[in-house]
Amino acid sequence: MLFDSHIHTEFSADSEMKAAEALSAATRQGIGLVFTEHLDADYTSKEGKVFSFDPQAYWQKYSSLQGDTLRLGVEIGMRESTREFSEEFSRQVPFDFIICSQHMVDDLDIYYPDYYEGKDKQEAYHRYFVQMAENIRAHSFANALGHIDYICRYAPYADADIRYAEFADEIDAVLQNAIENDVVMEINTRRLGDRQALASLIPIYQRYRELGGRFVTLGSDAHTPEAVGAHLLLAYDFAEGLKLTPVTFNQQRMVNSLK
């Protein structure tokens, strides 16, 4: 069974999806899921959303659903100032899977235009990758590094795609730090429907393979039932074509995503 290892339900501040809705969507597709609720510690969005949740309440509500087709995890936003809190949070319940992601740079949420003001693409992306490399080394308790191309969703530049050749040194540092700390790369499927976005990711994951990376998780980053499993088979083929093995995690142990 193929696993979509990046799903947000109503425990995430930016999702209203019920567990039953996500599971129903997965059942129709014959796939497994990993719920990965948001923790961005010490952060409230401009809309007043607090990106945190009660892990005990999460476990109490969902642990009875755990099994062959559902695992329970967390997605942690990486910041130097919140690393210790985040690691402690990740130990409060026996999460199956921990994704760590770069959602903020220089304490600015890159979802909003503020981060990009006064910066050209070179500067904005350089800072993004530099902090990602530093943070994935510091957050070595992660199982996977989420959506390396997250910034492309919101950057205001005419060409928002990541060009490996433009940021080779910075991206290599990210990949090397992940590999050295036994953190696998995620292939996030959110943008895979765009051929240009897909093409821009190929050199990054080729380089990951060249540096010694062997495993990837696949995740839709779904916040709605319609997005569950989106482009998952495309991501699987993408990984296989680059000789990367799709995996998921159970009790923070890596398992083949098809098992």
How far CA 229 is from CA of 3, 24, 66, 223, in Å, comes to: 8, 11, 18, 11
Q: Read off the tokens for 111.
A: 């979802």
Please name the fold of domain 3-256: TIM Barrel (3.20.20)
pLDDT score recorded for residue 259: 60
Closest CA to 127 of 149, 101, 148, 106: 106
Reading phi first (left if > 0) and then psi (alpha if -120 to 50, else beta), residue 182 is in left
CA distance 178 to 99: 12
pLDDT of residue 258: 74
Instruction: Compute how many other C-beta atoms are within 10 angstroms of the C-beta atom of residue 42.
Output: 14
| Residue 132 to residue 140: CA distance in whole angstroms | 12
Report the DSSP beta bridge partners of residue 215.
Answer: 245
- In this prediction, residue 64 carries a pLDDT of 97
- pLDDT (tens digit, 0 to 9) for every residue of the chain, 259 residues total? 999 999 999 999 999 999 999 999 999 999 999 999 999 999 999 999 999 999 999 999 999 999 999 999 999 999 999 999 999 999 999 999 999 999 999 999 999 999 999 999 999 999 999 999 999 999 999 999 999 999 999 999 999 999 999 999 999 999 999 999 999 999 999 999 999 999 999 999 999 999 999 999 999 999 999 999 999 999 999 999 999 999 999 999 999 877 6
| Predicted model pTM | 0.97
